[in-house]
Amino acid sequence: MHNKEMYTLGNREILTIPKTAFLCSRQIPASVVLKCYYWAIAQRDKGNCVISGFQSKIEKDVFHFLLQGTQPIILALARGMKKRFEPELTKALLENRILIISPFQPEIIRPTTETAEKRNHMMLELSDEAVFGFISKGGSLERLFTECAAGRKITIL
């Protein structure tokens, strides 16, 4: 990962297993919402590890579905490591089934477009394949898809 430091909290062993990155644009057609939900439930039921920023509304919903399972999850932050976590995140940490990662110093306390882009690149570097729930035309995910699509297994729901 470009020899950058990566801050972690949780089960680092999760980095050694196959991972699927999940990314989705903020603006998403209603027809794609259920596809994302069904995909998340299928990943949970199969026990597949998903890495995501879980930042957009749909990504947060996917995270909610994944947390209901027992499979490993990686949460990639577009900011420095948080000091406090939501109860469901704390529970997953205690169950040793989540890894929270960030390429940013703890002093960076707010996600920006730039930190989200860096985080997304890191997620793709760490993952074995990528699933895009939806890619808005002209958005940052479209650029990321164009840059990273070659030689990698990518699915668009």
DSSP 68: T
Write out the residue range of the structural domain in which residue 140 sits.
Answer: 7-156
Residue 86 in any domain: the answer is yes
Confidence of residue 138 (pLDDT cuts 50, 70, 90): confident
Q: What is the pLDDT of residue 123?
A: 95
Asked if pLDDT for residue 79 goes beyond 90, the answer is yes
Residue 1 in any domain: the answer is no
Residue 114 in any domain: the answer is yes
Q: What is the pLDDT of residue 149?
A: 67
Q: What is the pLDDT of residue 147?
A: 79
Q: What is the pLDDT of residue 141?
A: 86
DSSP 13: G
Residue 107 in any domain: the answer is yes
Contact yes or no for 106/131 (Cβ under 8 A): no
Contact yes or no for 145/34 (Cβ under 8 A): no
Q: Indicate the number of domains in the chain.
A: 1
Q: Given the DSSP bridges, would you call strands 73-76 and 49-52 parallel, antiparallel or unpaired?
A: parallel
Q: What is the pLDDT of residue 118?
A: 94
Q: What is the pLDDT of residue 144?
A: 83
Residue 94 in any domain: the answer is yes
Give pTM, 2 decimals: 0.91
Average pLDDT over residues 96-119: 94
Residue 2 in any domain: the answer is no
Residues above pLDDT 70, as percent of the chain: 96
Q: How far apart are CA 39 and CA 42, in angstroms?
A: 5
What SS3 state is found at 156?
Answer: strand
Asked if pLDDT for residue 24 goes beyond 50, the answer is yes
Contact yes or no for 134/25 (Cβ under 8 A): yes
* Identity of the amino acid at 119: R
Assign residue 115 the CATH number of its domain: 3.40.50.450
